[in-house]
C-alpha cells in the first residue's frame, strides 16, 4: 500500500455511461392511415409532449400507432420527428407489414425516444389476430438501466371491427392469440397491451379474455367497469367527429382504444403506472355523441383556448383520439462519501457521511420508484445504516472511521437495494484516508526535549535569546506542528515573541525572548503552546523554558520583578506561581511552596 495515499471515496459500481430514462410517457393512437390533416397530426403529437393534465409534462417516450400502411410509415416517423421537443430524437422500432395487412387498414408501428428507450430486436414478434391483421410485440429497455430486469413488452393491436357475433368471435380469437403469447413469457412480466380493440362493451368476450387470469393478463385501469353511455363520456376515444367522410364519424361514444398494463406494471414498484394518469387525450367528457370541438372544450379546465386548439387538431387528425398513460421509472442507486478529511492523526475517530441518492430521472417524485437500501461496513469503519429515498432525493447515513495507527485508515461501504428493477442493485465505496503520527515538538533537534533551563549573566545591555523549536523525527507520515502562543512570567519589561508562525516540519521554528539591560538576578518561565496541524486527531502540547539571570539578587526578596519597588507586577508573578513547589523566587519565606506565607511577606513590603 502506498504509505501516503490520497484521501478518497471511490464509487466502484454505481456509475453508468448513459443518462437514465426519465419517467415514461406512452401514447397509443389509431392514425387512420394518415388520411387526416398531417399538420393536425403533428399538432396533436407536439401537444402530447407538453400535456400537463396530470400535473407534469414530459416528452412522449413510446408511440404505438395503429392503421399504418407500409407506404406511410416513413411519413409517420417524419411527423413524429417534426413535432419532437428540443433535445429529443425518435426512431422506428422493427416494422413489419404482412401480406394483405395494408389492405386491411395497415400494420402496427412503434416509435420510441432514443434518449430514454432502446429496442431489443430479438423480442419482436408478429401475432396473427384474424381478418388479415397482425398484432406486433416489441421488447424495449430503459436507457441507463443495464439490468436485464429493466425490460418490458408493448403489444399493439387492431382487432376486427364492427358489430355482430362473427366479428366478436374474430376479436375473441385475436385476444386469445395475444394472451397465449403473453402467457408464454415469464410470470409477472412487465408488459402493456394497447391499441384499437373495437370492443363495444365491457362484457364482450374479447375484452374479458384480455383480463382473464394467467401468467400475464391485462388489467383495465378503469377496473373493467362499463363505458357505454353519457355517464362514461370521459372514457371514450372514438370518434371525435360526427360526420363521416374520409374519416369515420359518429361522435364521441365508444371506447375502442384500450391501454391494459400487466399486473407487474400496476404494483407501484419499479416500472409502474402512475395512478390516475390514463387519459383519452383532449376528451373533456362534455362531448358525448358530438364533435370534440363542438363549442368550447375544457380538457384543460383553466385554459379553454388551449383546450379548443387541441380539440381542433384532434378532430382534424384522425377518427380516434390518443390514449396517454404515464409511468414511474425504477429507482437508481447513486452513492458517495461526502466531507471526508484529507488526512487524520493517529487515534482519531471521525464521522463518515454516506450520501445515498435516488437518481431516478423523475420530473415529480411520483415519477420514480422509491429506493430502499441497506449499507454495511468493514475495515476501520463501524456502524450500519438503512434508508428509503424518494426519486430525486438523498439520504445521509453515518459511520465512524477509526485511525488506530499511522499509515492509513480504510474501510469498505457496501450498499444494496432490492427495489424492483433498480439499477444498479449494489454499490461499493472504498474509503481510505492517510493517518499521520503525532508531531514531536522539541527544544532539541536530536531528541525530544520538552523542558529546558537557561542561565545568563546579568545583562549590561538588552539581551535577545532566540529559542529554536523542532518537530523531532519529522517525515511525511508525521503531523506538522506550529507555535500557537508564547507567554512569559518574569519581570514586567521582559518580552516574548513568536517569530515563526507557519508549520514546522523538517526545519525549526523560533521564539524570541528580550531581557532589558540592568535586569538583576531573577528567573522567568517561558511557556510555548504547540499545535498540530488542524486535522482530526490533532492535540496541543507545551514546551517550558526556565531562564535564570545570574548575579546580585534584588535587595528585597519580595521585589520579584527586580524593578526596585514591591507592587502589582510582583503580586502577578506570585499569583502565577501560586501553589508551585520547589525552589522558585516567589517562595519568599522558603517553606517549599508558594502560598499564604509568601503573600503576607509581599504585602508587608508593599511600596518599599
Other C-beta atoms within 10 Å of 414: how many?
A: 16
CATH topology of domain 24-328: Deoxyribonuclease I; Chain A (3.60.10)
Grid cell for residue 232 = 362514461
Residue 563's pLDDT band (cuts 50, 70, 90): confident
Q: Which residue's C-alpha cell is 417516450?
A: 61
Domains of the chain, by residue range, sit at 8-13+331-436, 24-328, 441-553, 559-608
**What pLDDT score was predicted for residue 492?**
57
CA 358 – CA 373 distance, rounded (Å): 10
Residue 217: partners with Cβ closer than 8 Å, 6 or more residues away: 179, 182, 210, 211, 262, 263
Average pLDDT over residues 245-259: 97
Strand, coil or helix: 132: coil
- Look up the CATH superfamily of 441-553: Immunoglobulins (2.60.40.10)
* Torsion sign (Cα): 313, 316, 317, 322: positive
Domains 441-553 and 559-608 share a fold: no
Max CA distance (Å), the chain: 134
For residue 540, list its beta bridge partners.
531
Dihedral, CA of residue 531, residue 532, residue 537 and residue 543, to nearest 10: -50
What pLDDT sits at residue 462? 87
347 with 404: CB under 8 angstroms?
yes
Q: How confident is the model at residue 201 (pLDDT cuts 50, 70, 90)?
A: very high
- The contacts of residue 178 (CB under 8 Å, 6+ apart) are 127, 129, 135, 155, 157, 193, 210
pTM for this one?
A: 0.79
pLDDT for residue 150: 87
| pLDDT at residue 332 tops 80 | yes
Domain 559-608, CATH class in plain words: mainly alpha
Q: Identify the band that residue 553 occupies on the pLDDT scale cut at 50, 70 and 90.
A: low
pLDDT tens profile 108-167 = 999 999 999 999 999 999 999 988 899 999 999 999 998 788 899 999 999 999 999 999
The confidence score (pLDDT) of residue 491 equals 57
Q: For 560-584, what is the mean pLDDT?
A: 85
Q: In terms of pLDDT, which residue wins out, 516 or 48?
A: 48
- Interstrand relation of 540-550 and 451-457 (parallel, antiparallel or unpaired): parallel
Q: Decide which of 149 and 277 is more confident.
A: 277
Span 333-362, average pLDDT: 95
As a whole number of angstroms, the distance between CA 57 and CA 80 comes to: 17
What CATH number was assigned to the domain covering residues 8-13+331-436?
A: 2.60.40.10
Confidence band, pLDDT 50/70/90 cuts, at residue 521: low
Amino acid at each position: 500500500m502506498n504509505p501516503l495515499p490520497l484521501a478518497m471515496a471511490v464509487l466502484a459500481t454505481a456509475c453508468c455511461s448513459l443518462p437514465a430514462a426519465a419517467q415514461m410517457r406512452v401514447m397509443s393512437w389509431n392514425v387512420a392511415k394518415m388520411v387526416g390533416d398531417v399538420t393536425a397530426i403533428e399538432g396533436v403529437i407536439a401537444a402530447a409532449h407538453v400535456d400537463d393534465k396530470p400535473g407534469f409534462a414530459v416528452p412522449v417516450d413510446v408511440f404505438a400507432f395503429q392503421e399504418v400502411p407500409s407506404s406511410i410509415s416513413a411519413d409517420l416517423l417524419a411527423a413524429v420527428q417534426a413535432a419532437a421537443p428540443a433535445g429529443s430524437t425518435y426512431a422506428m422500432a422493427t416494422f413489419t407489414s404482412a401480406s394483405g395487412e395494408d389492405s386491411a387498414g395497415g400494420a402496427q408501428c412503434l416509435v420510441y425516444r432514443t434518449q430514454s428507450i432502446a429496442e431489443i430486436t430479438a423480442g419482436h414478434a408478429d401475432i396473427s389476430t384474424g381478418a388479415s391483421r397482425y398484432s406486433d410485440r416489441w421488447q424495449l429497455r430503459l436507457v441507463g438501466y443495464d439490468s436485464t430486469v429493466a425490460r418490458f413488452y408493448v403489444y399493439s393491436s387492431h382487432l376486427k371491427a364492427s358489430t355482430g357475433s362473427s366479428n366478436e368471435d374474430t376479436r375473441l380469437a385475436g385476444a386469445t392469440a395475444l394472451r397465449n403469447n403473453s402467457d408464454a413469457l415469464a410470470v409477472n412480466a412487465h408488459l402493456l397491451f394497447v391499441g384499437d380493440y373495437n370492443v363495444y362493451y365491457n362484457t364482450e368476450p374479447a375484452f374479458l379474455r384480455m383480463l382473464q387470469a394467467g401468467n400475464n393478463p391485462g388489467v383495465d385501469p378503469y377496473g373493467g367497469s362499463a363505458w357505454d353511455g353519457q355517464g362514461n363520456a370521459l372514457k371514450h376515444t372514438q370518434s371525435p367527429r360526427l360526420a363521416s367522410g374520409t374519416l369515420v364519424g359518429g361522435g364521441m361514444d365508444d371506447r375502442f382504444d384500450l391501454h391494459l398494463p400487466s399486473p407487474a406494471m400496476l404494483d407501484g414498484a419499479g416500472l409502474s403506472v402512475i395512478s390516475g394518469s390514463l387519459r383519452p387525450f383532449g376528451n373533456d367528457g362534455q362531448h358525448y355523441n358530438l364533435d370534440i370541438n363542438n363549442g368550447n372544450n375544457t380538457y384543460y379546465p383553466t385554459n379553454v383556448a388551449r383546450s379548443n386548439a387541441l380539440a381542433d387538431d384532434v378532430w382534424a387528425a384522425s377518427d380516434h383520439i390518443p390514449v396517454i398513460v404515464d409511468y414511474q421509472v425504477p429507482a437508481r442507486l447513486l452513492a458517495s462519501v461526502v466531507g471526508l478529511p484529507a488526512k487524520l492523526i493517529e487515534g482519531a475517530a471521525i464521522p463518515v457521511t454516506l450520501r445515498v441518492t435516488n437518481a431516478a430521472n423523475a420530473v415529480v417524485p411520483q415519477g420514480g420508484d422509491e429506493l430502499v437500501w441497506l449499507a454495511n461496513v468493514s475495515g476501520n469503519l463501524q456502524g450500519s445504516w438503512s434508508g428509503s429515498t424518494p426519486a430525486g432525493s438523498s439520504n445521509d447515513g453515518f459511520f465512524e472511521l477509526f485511525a488506530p495507527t499511522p499509515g492509513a485508515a480504510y474501510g469498505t461501504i457496501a450498499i444494496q437495494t432490492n427495489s424492483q428493477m433498480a439499477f444498479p442493485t449494489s454499490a461499493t465505496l472504498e474509503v481510505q484516508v492517510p493517518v499521520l503520527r503525532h508531531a514531536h515538538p522539541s527544544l532539541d533537534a536530536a531528541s525530544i526535549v520538552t523542558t529546558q533551563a537557561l542561565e545568563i549573566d546579568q545583562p549590561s545591555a538588552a539581551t535577545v535569546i532566540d529559542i529554536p523549536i523542532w518537530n523531532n523525527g519529522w517525515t511525511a507520515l508525521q503531523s506538522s506542528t506550529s507555535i500557537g502562543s508564547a507567554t512569559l512570567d518574569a519581570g514586567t519589561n521582559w518580552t516574548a515573541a513568536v517569530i515563526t508562525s507557519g508549520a514546522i516540519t523538517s526545519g525549526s521554528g523560533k521564539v524570541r525572548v528580550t531581557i532589558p539591560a540592568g535586569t538583576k538576578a531573577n528567573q522567568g518561565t517561558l511557556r510555548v503552546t504547540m499545535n498540530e496541524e488542524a486535522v482530526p486527531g490533532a492535540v496541543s502540547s507545551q514546551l517550558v523554558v526556565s531562564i535564570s539571570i545570574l548575579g546580585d539578587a534584588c535587595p528585597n526578596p519580595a521585589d520579584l520583578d527586580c524593578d526596585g519597588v514591591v507592587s502589582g507586577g510582583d503580586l502577578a508573578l506570585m499569583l502565577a506561581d501560586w501553589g508551585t513547589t520547589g525552589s522558585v523566587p516567589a517562595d519568599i519565606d522558603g517553606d517549599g511552596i508558594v502560598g499564604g506565607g509568601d503573600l503576607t511577606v509581599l504585602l508587608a513590603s508593599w511600596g518599599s
